[in-house]
Structure 1
Amino acid sequence: MRLALLLAASVAMPTAAAADTYITADRYLDVETGRYVANPVIRVGDDGRIVSINTGQVPALSRSDRHIDHAGKTLLPGFIDMHTHLDGPANIGGYRGFQYTDSFWPITAAPTGEAMLKLGFTTLRVVGAGQRSDVGLKQAIEDGYVVGPRIVPGGHALGATGGHCDSTFLPPSLERDGKEEGIGDGPEELRHQVRRQRKFGSEVIKVCATGGVFSLNTEPGQPQLSEAELRAIADEAHQWGVLTAAHAHGAEGIKRAIRAGIDTIEHASLVDDEGIRLAASRARPVWFSMDIRNTDYTQSEGRKNGVLEVNLRKDRDIAQAQRDNFKKAHEGGVRMVFGSDVGVMPPNWVPGQFSTMVEYGMSPLEAIQAATRNGAQALGKEADVGAIAVGRYADMVIVSGDPLSNIKAVEQVDGVIKGGVPVEEMVPWALQPKE
């Protein structure tokens, strides 16, 4: 009898109410409607997701609740960069990289990720990382060891022997035995590589469908995988519930990738009219991720950074064509996302891509939507990110002025919130105070 009473008493004991955070500002941008909502009161639960959005006054707060006020400011959804490389500093080019030990590169991923977060990019898709540094960084961020954005890791990129995703800078005597990680020839070898990357943490499969700019012995327009090989990659990835991305500069490689069922086309520099029509008309969405800002950096700083002349030449050859084709693809109704290729340029250059996208045909709203709503759709993460909306994570960027009138307002953010927590208040585990 006494045990029953004790148990009943324990069930009836009140529990502490979960703390909520209330975020206010002059307005926020609803990227679904393209309109501002004035005087929002955004309530965030202790899980970092938005519980409600009202307007007007903040309700009476409990002692555990918190109010974060950004009076005079505009709130935007946290930005999504769909094409990033975090483990390769942009100021190390060509053969300069060989002066660093192997473990140097993963270490550089953490500060790059934190820098991108502080610039407003609360979600990053990583499309290729040596030693799976992106998988490790995602784990370190989620467990609180370092501060950074939400990471969608790609692990090792897939490609053909001697292609853009293979190592092409070394002579045969210095090649390691066997194929590089991610390299396969023929549909079955590439299916195996899809399974292997997913097994070790990849959440997107990136494949090099054409040659590239910053490799040797490849040309950007050159197809390097057959349509059958690309279809095997797409089919295998989709079977496991994983999306795909194809590095594809050349027109033929782009069309092969689209017909094969690849989900996003990276760079798309030399796309032709047929490729634009094909991408715009597919029942299964195909997204273009076109990095039209970074050439400004590579051409001005590349030689000083050690980039070889052959690579700078290729970069020059496709730069303006890519920008012109961005405009044509947008006008042709292709779905577009924001992809910077950070790593080719440093993080502090990335926000300038919004202005370049507007210069080449997008409205300021469309450029912001590419980096928010569209990115979430292309990732299949509309329940989590991409908008300031009930149920999604409270990931926000605070800016001054009116970015719909002047897109440059996003280039100098006044603050960033991830999961309802201001980024400047995020403390890694090693620096947290003792309990």
Structure 2
Amino acid sequence: MPPATRLLALALAASATPALAAEPVALHCERLFDARAGRMLGEHTIVVEDGRVRSLLPGRAKLPDGTRSIVLAGRTCLPGWTDLHVHLGSQSSPQSYSEGFRLDPVDFAFRSVGYAEKTLQAGFTSVRDLGGEVSPHLRDAINQGLVEGPRIFAAGKSIATTGGHADPTNGHNSMLSHLLGPPGPTEGVINSIDDARQAVRQRYKDGSDVIKITATGGVLSYASSGDAPQFTVDEIRAVVDTARDYGYRVAAHAHGEEGMKRAVEAGVTSIEHGTHMSDEVMRLMKQRGTWYVPTIYAGRFVADKAKIDGYFPEIVRPKAARIGAQIQDTAARAYRGGVKIAFGTDQGVGPHGDNAREFIYMVEAGIPAAYALQAATVHAAEVLGVDDQGVIEAGKRADIIALPGDPVADINAVMGVDFVMKDGIVHRMPAAQ
């Protein structure tokens, strides 16, 4: 094992998760959110065994003697939430741009452990990590019970074009670029159809679960355009077709209209951010069944930080101010236009653990609270292509969270999660329990 890999393994072993509990436990919930129907139900009892929901019973059900009970009085039980757009290996700060030159992978790995735990504690039992070399290793450590965190569907390195958003050499001076040489498909940078195929195969070799491309410029990268298209349709189609061979779905970061059109036409599963989404793009997305993951939180965060001198480099600041402020309005138009919406925050831009604030921003945009909750449950499961999570039903994963109040009646309740169960293991209990 190379030294860097050994250090990464040590970093990810910083805490431990309890073993899977086999004995049955009953959760008594005052209310239950039916994610499939998008409605709130009354009192229910959820019986969990071997990491799965064994049964779902109306009311305060009588159970066999000896069954452990957890009474969640005054609380709503919901399926564990999924955030479809996070970056657990980093978190924005004024030092973010220099840290890439000063820190080692093990530094980011240590940080990711804390970010993962905060995310789980906030009620997010699954995430899709869309770009970061740490995330596949963090995923494995969580799955092995070495650290606490959400279930991770990891993209690994995003696929970009030369000079585009996610080219890892953007911002390097000429001497450093000369020493390192131009990045290629192994590093996730492509410039042809053959490169596109090779980049996907490299992600397969690296153990990714999903493919992420940067179909347009981005806000936080060292490049002047935040919305110019960065792939040809044929290049994206080569990514999508090769990804399909390996059972992968493709998420496309996209701010500009033309880049979105190319990505949708080429068959990506989801458009992330979608700032300049036109009516034509919306029609195309509905025709193709393409999902939209707005990441309103990230837009509002960067627009706010752009007002602070020195927070972003000067090449980034105007993009953050111009693009970030528009995403919430785009999400509102997309919902009214009938585009399918799923939940994502782009946390890592904003602070990890604050993910649920996206629900509040969605409702501010005119999206009904019940739909916003579905976006992080059944919709997210559909985007991921999994059928064992996102609902509380017999046989499904026992990913269950609870919070005081009724989030359908008052969406602000989402910030109060105080019970978290993932795969039948309790990771957070109300203080009074």
Quick one: which of 326, 329, 337 aligns to 2:342? 337
- 1:393-425 C-alpha deviation (Å, 9 max, x unpaired): 111221111111110000121221112222138
Q: Deviations over 1:53-80 (max 9, x none)?
A: 11234444354x4211102211111111
The letter of the residue matching 2:372 is: A
2:284 is aligned to 278
Tell me, what secondary structure is at the counterpart of 2:297?
A: coil
What secondary structure does 2:160 align onto?
A: coil
Q: Does 1:414 align with 2:418?
A: yes
* Shift, 1:296, TM fit: 3.4
Q: Find the counterpart in structure 2 of residue 259 from structure 1.
A: 265
Q: Is the 8 A contact 2:224 2:315 kept in 1?
A: no
In structure 1, C-alpha distance between the alignment counterparts of 2:340 and 2:323, rounded to whole Å: 21
For 1:295 and 1:206, the matched residues in 2 are separated by 19
Residue 398 of structure 2: SS of its match in structure 1? Answer: coil
Aligned to 2:40, the other structure's residue is in SS state strand
Task: Name the CA distance, whole Å, in 2 between partners of 1:207 and 1:214.
Answer: 15
Q: Tell me the distance in 1 between the aligned counterparts of 2:100 and 2:89.
A: 12
Aligned to 1:107: 110
Pick from 250, 255, 264: which aligns with 1:249? 255
Q: Does 1:173 align with 2:195?
A: no
State which of 346, 358, 376 in structure 1 corresponds to 2:363.
Answer: 358
Map 1:54-203; keep pairs closer than 5 Å: 54-61=57-64, 63=66, 65-91=67-93, 92-129=95-132, 132-167=133-168, 168-175=170-177, 176-179=180-183, 181-203=187-209
Deviation of 1:134 after TM superposition, in Å, equals: 0.9
The DSSP-based 3-state class of the residue aligned with 1:27 is strand
Q: Distance in 1 between matches of 2:309 and 2:117?
A: 26
Deviations 1:364-402 (A, max 9, x none): 1111111111000110112x2111112211112211111
C-alpha deviation, 1:144, in angstroms: 0.8
Contact 1:295 1:319 in 2 (8 A): yes
Deviations 1:148-174 (A, max 9, x none): 111001111101111111020101311
User: TM-score if structure 2 supplies the norm length?
Assistant: 0.89
Q: Percent identity, please.
A: 35
Q: CA 1:423/1:93 → structure 2, altered by over 3 Å: closer, same or farther?
A: same
The match for 1:27 is 31
**1:45 corresponds to which of 46, 49, 52:** 49
1:372 is matched with which residue? Answer: 377
Q: Please identify, of 76-85 and 103-112, the stretch whose mean Cα deviation from structure 2 is larger.
A: 103-112
Q: Within 2, Cα distance between the matches of 1:184 and 1:208?
A: 11
Q: Report the alpha carbon displacement of residue 85 of structure 1 after superposing the two structures with TM.
A: 0.3
How big is each residue's C-alpha offset from its partner over 1:269-317, in whole Å with a ceiling of 9 and x where there is no partner?
A: 11111001100122xx311111112233334446477421221210111
AA at the equivalent of 1:133:
V
Equivalent pair of 2:155/2:209 in contact (CA under 8 Å): yes
**Secondary structure class of the residue paired with 1:309:** coil
Q: Are the structure 2 counterparts of residues 183 and 420 from structure 1 closer, same or farther at C-alpha, using a change threshold of 3 Å? A: same
**Which is higher, the Rg of structure 1 or of structure 2?**
1
CA distance in 2, matches of 1:195, 1:256: 22
Cα shift readout 1:228-266 (whole Å, capped 9, x = no counterpart): 000000011012111110111100000100000010111
Which residue is 2:232 aligned to?
226
Give the corresponding residue for 1:214.
220
1:294 is paired with a residue of what secondary structure?
helix
Instruction: Give the RMSD, CA atoms, in angstroms.
Output: 1.8
Structure 1 counterpart of 2:404: 400
Distance 1:306 1:35, change over 3 A: closer
- Does the 8 Å CA contact 1:163/1:218 hold for their aligned counterparts? no
SS of match in other structure, 2:92: coil
Per the alignment, residue 325 of structure 1 pairs with 330
Q: Which SS does the other structure have where 1:335 is aligned?
A: coil
User: For this pair of structures, how many residues does the alignment match?
Assistant: 402
CA distance in 2, matches of 1:149, 1:339: 14
Q: For residue 34 of structure 2, what is the amino acid of its counterpart?
A: D
Taking the aligned partners of 2:22 and 2:164, their CA distance within structure 1 comes to: 54
Q: Distance in 2 between matches of 1:218 and 1:418?
A: 42
For 1:257 and 1:136, the matched residues in 2 are separated by 29
The 8 Å contact of residues 94 and 306 in structure 1, kept in 2 or not, is answered as no
User: Is the CA contact (8 Å cut-off) linking 1:95 and 1:306 kept in structure 2?
Assistant: no
Indicate conservation of the 8 Å contact 2:28/2:60, yes or no: no
Answer with 252-261 or 81-90: which moved more. 81-90
Q: Distance in 1 between matches of 2:232 and 2:284?
A: 18
Which secondary structure state, in structure 1, belongs to the residue aligned with residue 56 of structure 2?
A: strand
Q: Distance in 1 between matches of 2:395 and 2:175?
A: 55
How far apart in 2 are the matches of 1:154 and 1:230?
16
TM-score (norm 1): 0.88
- Alpha-carbon separation, structure 1, partners of 2:375 and 2:212: 20
SS in 2 for 1:347: coil
Partner AA of 2:53 in structure 1: I
AA matched with 1:239: D
Task: Tell me: CA distance 1:141–1:62, structure 2 relative to 1, closer, same or farther (3 Å).
Answer: farther
2:319 alignment counterpart = 314
Report the Cα distance in structure 2 between the residues aligned to 1:57 and 1:321, rounded to whole angstroms. Answer: 46
CA contact (8 A) 2:303 2:324 kept: no
Query: Could you give the per-residue CA deviations for residues 306-343 of structure 1, whole angstroms, max 9, x where no partner exists?
Result: 42122121011112322221111111111111110000
1:31 CA displacement: 1.1
CA distance in 2, matches of 1:300, 1:272: 25
- The CA deviation at 1:218 is 4.0
Asked whether the 8 Å contact 1:164–1:218 carries over to 2, the reply is no
Q: Is the 8 A contact 2:301 2:324 kept in 1?
A: no
Q: SS of 2:350's equivalent?
A: coil
Q: Does 1:268 align with 2:274?
A: yes
Gaps of 5+ in 2: 1-20
One-letter code aligned to 1:280: K
The alpha-carbon deviation at position 213 of structure 1 amounts to 0.6
Distance between the aligned counterparts of 2:59 and 2:33, measured in 1?
Answer: 16
